[in-house]
Structure 1
Amino acid sequence: MTVSKTLPVESPTLYIVPTPIGNLGDITQRALDVLSRVDLVAAEDTRHTGKLLSHFGINTKTYALHDHNEQQKSQVLVDKLLTGLTIALVSDAGTPLISDPGYHLVNHCRQAGVKVVPLPGACAVITALCASGLPSDRFSFEGFLPAKSKGRKDKLNEISTVERTCVFYESPHRILDSLNDMLDILGPDREVALARELTKTFETIQSMPLGELVNWVKSDPNQQRGEMVLLVHGYRALAVNDISEEEKRALTLLCKELPLKKASALVAELYSTKKNALYKWGLENLS
């Protein structure tokens, strides 16, 4: 592929350059222009980025900038920029800073008055969200779920009543544990999407109730491999008019012996329904 030379780079400038998350054809012409013309490419993994640059016939020098050295090396790169160099920041895949290094460098650049130019491009969060079938008008990206079950459950409890779609990254060796923790906290009916190996040969995007998704992933080891994005439908409160007559009767009887809050919690557990709606109905009808 030939690289256009029509786009000038400005000095000193830090360019934030997205790279493909799988399919190399997803790199933009502007990204290729910038990578070929800057003085230096700051890369999360210079070997990985070197292969990408070589594939497109780009010979720009690389400089390692990763999670373990970013705070120490950011000022080194800013000093280079202040001498008039231009630098492109890339991660191993997708848009830098999105669960990848780059925050400290960008922050140092802005404090030093160095221009920062972001290029649009591939991002697994947006790619997964577009095809998930979950609401996309309001969403939040939550990064990776915690590695240990206690931390995961704390995080899932935190987002359990959030009404927007929540997006997580997850690793293949933890996917079943994370889905099981989701099942414990969010219940089997919460709709969840698993987007796996996006833009690659074995891309899979599956949306279904959490209880079904857990069984589907368990039954197919292939769905436990590769890069993964998990998307969780936002909380939908049960309307008061959705409470069945049987649930109302149970709540009425229990309230003769128990406080409304406790009675609502028991009925919610018995009928797998939402205690907030029961509590609201009780306040309006049993007080």
Structure 2
Amino acid sequence: MTLSLFAFGRTSGSFSLPWAFAGRPVTLHCYRAAAADARAPLVLVQHGMLRNGDDYRNFWVAAAERYGLQIIAPTFSNEHWPGVESYNNGGVWTQDGHLAPAAQWAYQAIPELIGQLRREGALQEQPVYLFGHSAGGQFVHRLASLLGVRGLAGIVAANPGWYTLADDSLGFPEGLGGVGLAPDALARLLATPLVILAGEQDIDTADPNLPAEPAALRQGPHRYSRALHYTEYALQQAARLGVPLAWQLHSVPGIGHDGEAMSAICAHWWFEGRMPSADGLARLAGRIVS
């Protein structure tokens, strides 16, 4: 770990730090509330397809000050992590179609970062939360699907473009098949306290950034319908296996594809224990932020 990353737990305000995972740069856009110390909760924020971790860090500044948080938005640039295969789909498959070593999957950067911060003393034993919106929502729910969520106090995927279904008979990324998961991986996933935030107005079928591959279209015509399909599919799988489903789907009235609004809603959910009021949601509605 670099000395600059060690300084994370001792610097307040907005700043950015260099880091690397699997030999490739990852920029850490950070914010630490003035009242926060090294024991303050940490929120990791995964950006959308614009690779704009600085914006997503900024979306969480007000919540950081209100609740006394530390924020890191790990940013996977298109230069070093090109396309949906490297980021959204985690680099699970190599360019020639072979399964990449699991230790090199982009999703592994998150537990590696947490572990390094703790080993260096920049973090203590406080809770760590993980949020992702849009392409970041794809990243986050696939991380939960393949790696589990051990060490995370909460995990929220907001408005993903499409989903990896809880089905090990379908190849990844449509399902969990072909990536060498343990036999109990599906049951473990269904028992994961995953939260999906789905904007009821995220229904634009002509959005040029909406995934349109056949597997995505099979899940529905827009992001909101795909969230409903994802959770209904998981309910059917849980019933088939005879296990409860621990996921929560929150359908969010008035909100479209808005990473800033969903960041505020997620912060309210985690740190006030409830969704915002109808008036609060109305104040947040009406933007498009990927």
Same fold (TM over 0.5): no
Q: For this structure pair, what is the TM-score category when the shorter chain's length is used for normalisation?
A: under 0.3
State the TM-score, normalized to the length of structure 2.
0.27
State the TM-score, normalized to the length of structure 1.
0.28
